[in-house]
Amino acid sequence: MTHNEIIQKLKSIVEPYVNNQPNFEQLNENSDFIKDLEINSANLVDVVLDVEDEFDIRIENDDMEKMLNVEATVDVIQKKLNQK
Amino acid sequence: MKRNRVVVTGLGVVASNAVGINDFLKAIQNGENGIQFQQELKDLNFSCQIGGTPEISEETLNQYFTKLEQKGLLASGLIYGGIAGQEAWSDAKLSTSETVDFDSGIIFGTGVLGVDKLREAFQKIDAKNVRRLGSTSVLQTMASGISAFLGGKLGCGNQVTTNSSACTTGTEAMIMGFERIQSGKAKRMLIGSCSDSGPYVWGGFDALRILPYQYNDQPEVASKPMSANAAGFVPSSGAGALVLESLESAQNRNAEIYAEVLGGHVNSGGQRQGGSMTAPNSTAVKICISETLKNSKLNSTDIDLINAHLTATAMDSTEIQNWSEALSLSDTNFPYINSLKSHIGHALAAAGSIELVAGILQLKHGFVAPNLNCEDIHPEILKLVDETKIPRKYIETKLNVMLKASFGFGDVNACVALKSFKNEK
């Protein structure tokens, strides 16, 4: 899966949790889930669960802690996909 | 100490015969029954295979819950309470501004919240998959999840809590909210209660063999308060909500006033003197009623309507006898009495608040809702009360004062007095 494909899938995963629509429309690698997209911190758990379902991977606590912005999240997903 | 007068300025309801105040008013005027056959209970080998489950349309759900809030939402009590609470708030024409309102609070009770969510959580935990519970497991399964949810939706900054006292919960919540406003600690309190639907709430009662099993093929005639053939209470669910407000606050903002709360009392029979976990100590019940009259400054002859607890069990005659003795009234002197449980069954923790909403609508619109399924009034009841006081048909009549009582598991009692409101300006 290409980097861009992962970002597109991630974009549709985070959409229901987003509270800042203009920033969501301009989502890019640097977008921060909490600061830019204004996702409620409790919902980050749900984003991770939805990522697990969508990509059929399992994300452990240490990786989960890194998943605070688009770039880091894509890196974690890419790493897990490569291990499959 | 200055005591504030307290009035009701908003109503909301989710019941098995109607959702929303307008439809509910029509339903209780027409005596619409909300009890349905429940295939799920049959499949699970319940003796009683009927119950009351409110029908929530997609449109209603979308009106009160965002798409995100609906994600993984299994707590039916939270859905019912969330809808009723927000309906009451908007019925009172109160805003949900971005700022916090420190003068408004919430007391919204329940018995147990989110049993279906709990079941899902237990299954995941037992499968060693606790990490997959998601973010809303706590909100949906803590008792105070309902008040926490409403608190966030409405921006309430006064006391926000949940009370729990079995079938007295809703009536107790009204007294607690009333006292808080009366003593000046809050200007507005959203009060109410909710109860989940389904086998995981109702199972314990089926196991106690106190639900009717004879009417699985005739659900609409199963709930028979005051009938000689009463066979047990029909399990139900839903939520009722009321906005209580100081008279001063209501008049300052020209709010529509449904009724005035005059007073009330809460007590327990201590599971002594004939009282037990499931049966009331009649002495305590009578004290609860007479204390309500006393602190409401009412005479028993002032009462036009008793909005009773009457669940359709053998205890119905005992309840009538307690009312009759506490009020020293009988035969044709006895006030009108009705039980909404003949329409919607016993909504457990939600019963008190749904029945309060029904009672206030009767005060406001001047009618007595019909008692269904009791063409054959129990002979013990007829010894105490003339049958014209137990209307089986809708009666249009001016009502001034209503007493509402609820009695619950654990020998707990609550009684409240309400009066129709005339503008005194």
Nearest-angstrom CA–CA distance, B90 and B102: 18
The reply to whether residue B135 touches residue A45, judged by beta carbons under 8 angstroms, is yes
Nearest-angstrom CA–CA distance, B117 and B76: 9
Q: Which pLDDT value is given to residue B106?
A: 98
Q: Is the pLDDT of residue B56 over 90?
A: yes
Q: Which pLDDT value is given to residue B246?
A: 98
> What's the whole-number average pLDDT of chain B?
97
Write the pLDDT tens digit of every residue in B184-235.
999 999 999 999 999 999 999 999 999 999 999 999 999 999 999 999 999 9
Q: Which pLDDT value is given to residue B419?
A: 98
Question: What residues of B are in contact with residue A45 (Cβ under 8 Å)?
Answer: 134-135
Number of H helices, E strands in chain B: 16, 15
Q: Which pLDDT value is given to residue B65?
A: 97
**B128 band by pLDDT with thresholds 50, 70 and 90:** very high
Testing the interface with A: which of B62, B67, B68 to mutate, by most A Cβ within 10 A? Answer: B68
Q: Where in chain B is the domain with CATH 3.40.47.10?
A: 6-252, 263-338+366-420
Q: Give the nearest partner residue to B67 out of A16, A43, A46, using CB atoms.
A: A16
Report whether B196 contacts B114 (CB < 8 A).
yes
Domains and CATH numbers, chain A: 3-83 (1.10.1200.10)
Question: What residues of B are in contact with residue A49 (Cβ under 8 Å)?
Answer: 132, 134
Tokens of B285: 């019940």
Nearest-angstrom CA–CA distance, B196 and B80: 8
Write the pLDDT tens digit of every residue in B2-42.
899 999 999 999 999 999 999 999 999 999 999 999 999 99
Nearest-angstrom CA–CA distance, B190 and B243: 5
Average pLDDT over residues B263-282: 96
The reply to whether residue A42 touches residue B135, judged by beta carbons under 8 angstroms, is yes
Average pLDDT over residues B145-151: 98
Residues of B at the A interface, defined by Cβ within 8 angstroms: 67-68, 71, 132, 134-135
Q: Is the pLDDT of residue B153 over 80?
A: yes
**B302 band by pLDDT with thresholds 50, 70 and 90:** very high
B61 min Cα distance to partner chain A (Å): 17
The residue count of chain B comes to: 425
Report whether B158 contacts B186 (CB < 8 A).
yes
The reply to whether residue B71 touches residue A46, judged by beta carbons under 8 angstroms, is yes
- What's the complex ipTM? 0.88
Query: Hey, what CATH topology would domain B263-338+366-420 get?
Result: Peroxisomal Thiolase; Chain A, domain 1 (3.40.47)
**B85 band by pLDDT with thresholds 50, 70 and 90:** very high
Q: Is the pLDDT of residue B96 over 90?
A: no
The reply to whether residue A46 touches residue B135, judged by beta carbons under 8 angstroms, is yes
Question: What residues of B are in contact with residue A42 (Cβ under 8 Å)?
Answer: 135
Testing the interface with A: which of B131, B138, B149 to mutate, by most A Cβ within 10 A? Answer: B131
Q: Which pLDDT value is given to residue B424?
A: 61
**DSSP assignment of B168-237:** THHHHHHHHHHHHHHTTS-SEEEEEEEE--SHHHHHHHHHTT-S--TTTT-GGG---TTBTT---PPB--
| pLDDT per residue of chain A (84 residues) written in tens, 0 to 9 | 899 999 999 999 999 999 999 999 999 999 999 999 999 999 999 999 999 999 999 999 999 999 999 999 999 999 999 998
Q: Is the pLDDT of residue B167 over 60?
A: yes
The reply to whether residue A42 touches residue B134, judged by beta carbons under 8 angstroms, is no
Q: Is the pLDDT of residue B425 over 80?
A: no
**B172 band by pLDDT with thresholds 50, 70 and 90:** very high
**CATH number for the B6-252 domain, one of 3.40.50.150, 3.40.50.170, 3.40.47.10, 3.30.70.1150?**
3.40.47.10
